[in-house]
Structures are given as C-alpha cells and as structure tokens.
Amino acid sequence: MKIDLILNENAGKGKGFDEAFIVKYRNENAKPTNEIWIAYCKDEKEIRKAAENKHVDVILGLEEAERRDSLHGKNSGLNEVICNLAKKNNIALGFSFGKILHSNNKAMLLGRMMQNVEFCRKYKVRMLLASFAESKWDVRSYNELFSFGSALGMTPKEVKDSLEMAALILKEKKEEKLPAGTRLVK
C-alpha cells in the first residue's frame, strides 16, 4: 500500500497513492498513538533525544539546521551515533519534498539530504520519502517522489521501500496492539 504523508487536510491525495495520511508533529510529552509519530528536529540535542526515544517513528528536518558546513564535508545533522541509535530503536529518517520546494537554499539542502542517504545506507537506517504537503499545490505523485528519491542517490529498491515505509510503520503499530502470539494477516 502506498501512503503519502501530508500536513494539511486540504492537500488531499496525490496520483498514484492509495491514501494520504495526515500527520502532525509530536512533542516530547505526547502519548504514543496509533498514528505515525514524527519528531521535527533542527538542533543536535533534539536529534539525539529523538533518536533515543522508542516512541518516535520518524525523525525529520535534520538537514535544515542553520549551521555552517566544514571545509571537508557537509554538516547534515546525522552521524554514526545518531544512525546507530535510530537503527536500534527502529526509527526511520524522513526526507521531505515539501521542504525542498519551499527552501531558499535548495542546493545546500539537497546536498545534505544526499549525504544523509549515504549515512542511512551505510548504517542500514530505514528511510521514509514523502511530500509532507502543506497545501494542495504541494502534493506530488508517486512517480515524482520516485524521481526525487533517485536524485538523492537512492537505488530503485531503496526508493520503493522508502515510499512504502509509512504503510509499514502503520502496520507495525497495529501489530503492537494485538495479543501476544497473534499477528495481523491481510
């Protein structure tokens, strides 16, 4: 099942997706629900706290911090420690097309996202790719998001998996509520 994540009820569903799932950013004190829990982090301390939290499903916004890149590499907000924590706690790293669409410095943001894709591949961290549309004009089709993932340096299999990650997270949350010894069969 292909699910696009959007931030606004009026955005609707895009072409090629079965469903558009409305998400809201959660704060640290929110109770875990049956919805996808997205931590929007820009600060290094917030990123670390989100990666250590077992209730967080997706970390988003790592690339948007107002920090300078060093001479030898980009300061993308992701490092070995954060990747290992995210892998251990089964947290996906989110890539938002909407943030690229509304960014003033698209080249820097794309470069940082490309570096984060390399980190995720190296440390086997789950990736989630969605439009995160704020209005109906920001919604993109499945094929456009597939091309965006390819432009970030993902392989076709990684892009397909990252576009279906939202459905996988929702399925895992439903299975958590089932009694021990049973599983959801579809």
Q: Average pLDDT in the 92-108 region?
A: 92
> What is 3-177's CATH superfamily?
Metal-dependent hydrolases (3.20.20.140)
Predicted local confidence at residue 34, as pLDDT? 64
Q: What is the pLDDT of residue 106?
A: 92
Q: Is there a contact between 143 and 131 (Cβ–Cβ < 8 Å)?
A: no
pTM for this one? Answer: 0.85
Residues 6+ apart with CB under 8 A from 78: 47, 62, 93, 115, 116, 119, 120
Give me the residue spans of the domains in the chain: 3-177
Asked if 112 contacts 67 with a C-beta cutoff of 8 angstroms, the reply is no
For residue 126, pLDDT beyond 80: yes
